[in-house]
Amino acid sequence: MAALMDIIGASLLLAGTLFLLLGGVGLVRMPDVYNRIQAGTKATTLGTLLSLVGIAFLHPEWSLKLLLIGVFLLFTNPLSSQVLARAAHRVGIRKAEATRIDHLEEDTGEKS
């Protein structure tokens, strides 16, 4: 039973760090700031959460603290990415040429 929990935990940990790796690749390869924010925040949030669940399988006595870190990350990561995207838009950083829709510009008239 303990061996099975260890294998499940290690698999989840591996999947989580794989998502972190994909987030890093996205941060390097994406064409502009707004796409990089998507890759760098969504993929790394999922990766960290999967890693937290995996470590909770490996060490069940740490579950409460890991849950606390996970809830905190779920609150703060979307907030920081939203603030960053708004800051980039207000500073006036250019979008990639393939970008068609900009709802913030439609709503407020601020050009980016």
User: Among 31, 60, 93, 105, which residue interacts with another protein (rule: CB under 8 A)?
Assistant: 93
Taking the mean position of all CA atoms in its chain, how far away is CA 92? 24
Q: Following DSSP, what letter does each residue of 62-83 receive, concatenated?
A: GHHHHHHHHHHHHHHHHHHHHH
User: Among 1, 42, 74, 88, which residue interacts with another protein (rule: CB under 8 A)?
Assistant: 88
* 57 is a site residue for another protein (CB under 8 A): no
Tell me which residues in 12-51 interact with another protein (CB under 8 A). Answer: 13-14, 16-18, 20-21, 23-25, 27-28, 33, 36-37, 40-41, 44-45, 47-48, 51
CA quadruple 46, 51, 52, 58: dihedral sign? positive
